[in-house]
Each structure stands twice: as structure tokens, then as C-alpha cells.
Amino acid sequence: MGQSVAMFDFASDLSRFSPLHLPQDRVLKNRVVVPPMASGTADADGKVTERTVEHYRRLAESGAGLVFVEYTYVDQSGKSEAAQLGIQTQGHLSGLRQIAEELRTAGALPAIQLTHAGGKTERDLVGDAMMGPSAVPVPVKDRALEAPRSMDAVDLARWRSAFVAGAMRAHAAGFAMIELHAAHGYGLNQWLSPLTNRRMDEYGGSFANRTRLLIEIVFAIRSAVPDLLLSVRMPGQDFLEGGLSAEEGARLAALLERSGVDLIDVSSGIGGWRRPGDRKGEGYLVPEARRIQDVVSVPVIGVGGIESGEYIDEALRDRSLSLAAVGRAILRDPSLWRRRNLACA
């Protein structure tokens, strides 16, 4: 009896160097993830430039097993900054194909985050197409945003088909995984949060209604591109009074798992990704990941101020997460990070 418990107690043997098996016979060579980070290197149409390719070649030098390409808009109306990447036409694919190839050559699984900004954007970028679940300004830290127009059934259909088309294009460009950005106050997060979703129809109010659009998009992508791995970046909670609660975050993760999502990437919600005032040290959002990893069996990515391989080993062993995202520490100097933290693999 004791022996069988020991045999199945894999967590004590886990380290940052442990491979992770995913569906579709995909294997991550280690537990380190480069999370999506906007590089501001695209051209005015959202197309990849030489600088973008160079940026990802450099990030891949980190040795991470999974590298996400930054948030990439699926429809012109969902753009949120000037030099942001887009995937809204076939013409965007050749540059993205080059990046996927660079990442694969470096031994990483190539992934890309897909987004629609919803109301977290500005008229200068999207004109009258600024839209969201309700005509409520999205609360952001550093500026006051305009209220978007409330979306109708045609707009909803447009989002669904734009996300599906984006996923199909990402697949065609050679990405093995896409991630839906449903965190940090962007479009899909606005549907989840009672602060920005005040609708009275079947897409607002109850938890089932607020999660409906995201789940419809998950199902639509699953059936259109079944062999593409699917991750969702979701808020553990909104960290704002009256927003998505920690309890709803856990319910959402369980719902995503039941809906066929392969990986759950846990960050923060409305208000953005920065460190909450009362959280100190490495892994400031890892308590959110842990709460989610406790209720799902798909792998969970934890993030937030993670700097060292030793921290990652500890978080894996106490089952707080299955994968650790290291953003700014890798961005500063990817090769140095690899030499310090992955050199003896």
C-alpha cells in the first residue's frame, strides 16, 4: 500500500527540467514558459517586421519549453495599441509563419495569444467600432477610457467568427497552440466581469450567462481546428470590488476544463496584470494558480514576479502549478536566464 502511494507521488520528483506531455502527442521539454508580452514591433497593419522575428529569436534563447507570441488582434475592431500584431487576414501569415518556425527550431512549442480589446482601446485606433458587452468604460489604472457601444447579435457573431478564423490562421502558420486572452481587462474578460457586463439578456447577469460567449468560442475553435492545442488566460479574480470573485474564477476553470481546454493560464483580471499591493516576493499571482490547480486536472500556468529556477522547483513540488511563466526576468536577458536556470538540463 505504502509502496503504491510512493510510486504515484510524482510531485516530489518534479523539477523545472521535467517534460510535460500534452494532448496531440505534444511534449514540452521543460516547465518554463515565456508568457505573452507585447513587443510593439508590428507595422501599422499589424504585420510582423524583422524586429518582431528578431525579438522572438532572442526570447527563444531562454530555453523555455513553451513560448507565447504576444497578444494578437483577431479583428480590426479589437486592436488596442499602435504597433500591435494582428492576424486578421491571410496576408498576416507569412511573418507569423517565420516566428513559429524560429520557436520550433529552438526546441520550444510555438503558441500565440489571440485577443479582442473590446472597450479597452481608443477611438484613434478603432474609430466607431469600439464595442463591449455594455456601454460602461473599462476601469484601467493610468487613464480614463471612453464607454464602448453595447454589442448586438451581429457583433457577437463577428467576434465568434473572428476568433475561429484567427485560430485557423494560427494553425496554418505553424502554431501548435493558441491562447484566448480572457484576462487583464481585455474583451473576453469584459464579458466575464460583472463590472463591465451589465447585460440583461442571456449573455449577462448569472455566471452561466457571463461565461457563455467565451465557452461558445472555445467550442467553435475546438470543432474548427481539433488538433490545435487550446489555452485560456483567465483571471484568478478581478481584484476589484464587485468584479469576478476568486470563487467564480475557480468555477470558470472547472467549466473550461469540461469544455475541452488543454491548458489554463492564470493571471489577474480587470485592472491589468500588475502586482496587487499586498502581495510580496516571487510568484505574486501563484496563489491564484494554486487555487485553480486544486480544482482542475489539466496543467495550470502560474505567473507573477517569478525569477529563479529554485522558486519554480518549489512551486511544482507543492503542486501550486504545472508550468511557470517567467516574463520580465527572461525579457531582460534570455540567454543569461537560461545559463543561470536551465544550464544543467
Site for ligand FMN in 29-58 (CB under 6 A): 35-38
Cell of 164: 475561429
Letters for 118-157 (x = contact with ligand FMN by CB under 6 A, - = none) are: ----------------------------------------
Letters for 165-184 (x = contact with ligand FMN by CB under 6 A, - = none) are: ----------------x--x
Q: Which of 278, 196, 292 is nearest to 237 (CA)?
A: 292
Nearer to ligand FMN, 225 or 329 (CB): 329
Nearer to ligand FMN, 133 or 304 (CB): 304
Q: Residue from 77, 121, 267, 341 that binds ligand FMN (CB under 6 A)? A: 267
Q: For residue 20, list its beta bridge partners.
A: 28
- What's the burial of 283, exposed, middle or buried (CB within 10 Å: 0-12/13-18/19+)? buried
Strands (E), 36-141: 66-73, 85-86, 109-115, 131-132
Phi then psi for residue 180, to 5 deg, are -85, 125
Can residue 162 be called a binding residue for ligand FMN (CB under 6 A)?
no
Count residues binding ligand FMN (CB under 6 A): 20
Taking the complex as a whole, the smallest distance from the CB of residue 174 to ligand FMN amounts, in Å, to 20
Residues 6+ apart with CB under 8 A from 96: 48, 69, 85, 87, 112, 169, 170, 173, 174, 175
Residues 6+ apart with CB under 8 A from 277: none
Can residue 240 be called a binding residue for ligand FMN (CB under 6 A)?
no
Residues in the chain: 345
Q: Round the CA-based radius of gyration of the chain to a whole number and report it.
A: 19
Nearer to ligand FMN, 203 or 261 (CB): 261
Nearer to ligand FMN, 249 or 304 (CB): 304
Residues that bind ligand FMN (CB under 6 A): 35-38, 70-71, 113, 181, 184, 233, 267, 273, 303-306, 326-329
